[in-house]
A and B are shown apart, each in its own frame.
Chain A
Amino acid sequence: KQEVTQIPAALSVPEGENLVLNCSFTDSAIYNLQWFRQDPGKGLTSLLLIQSSQREQTSGRLNASLDKSSGRSTLYIAASQPGDSATYLCAVSGGNYQLIWGAGTKLIIKP
């Protein structure tokens, strides 16, 4: 059974720092991995989707990597800003539209 873990559960860093969020999964047989952002009281916003054949995806200051063999993905945020404060969730897909979700990392960027 696929399990997705995100560590740490919470992270607080000063503005301007580069940071890395981690996501690990137990079954390497995935079709893709997605990173989402959730703001308080709001829904989730898809940030990046990495297909199983890809190693990384980039969007602006965000870069997500995928290492299937080790069951790991990282979300790199460059030059963090207070507006980046949110909960970040990763989710893996086994190809049947069933996403297995991590519990999320709550990120606080201090001005």
Chain B
Amino acid sequence: DQQVKQNSPSLSVQEGRISILNCDYTNSMFDYFLWYKKYPAEGPTFLISISSIKDKNEDGRFTVFLNKSAKHLSLHIVPSQPGDSAVYFCAASSPSDFNKFYFGSGTKLNVKP
């Protein structure tokens, strides 16, 4: 049973617009969340993280929002660029085992020029 879910397998966005990728989790013990980006034939690359003591973390064009009551997080990319086209994975971890990340199944983002 997947504890981290990304219900949209794909998303298509026009260049310059906002991309919003969503992620839901079921384990209320999760308190650290990450987003990874993966290009074909490469390993996942760390993008941004957020701890449960925050509800927002921003890094340049990337912002992650956390809604603990809804057990939901989202990644906003503004403005989207064609180079952002990749598969995005969210991941979560809990204090009982901070070496263990639970990954979602990924959302393939396509940014059209």
- Real binding pair: no
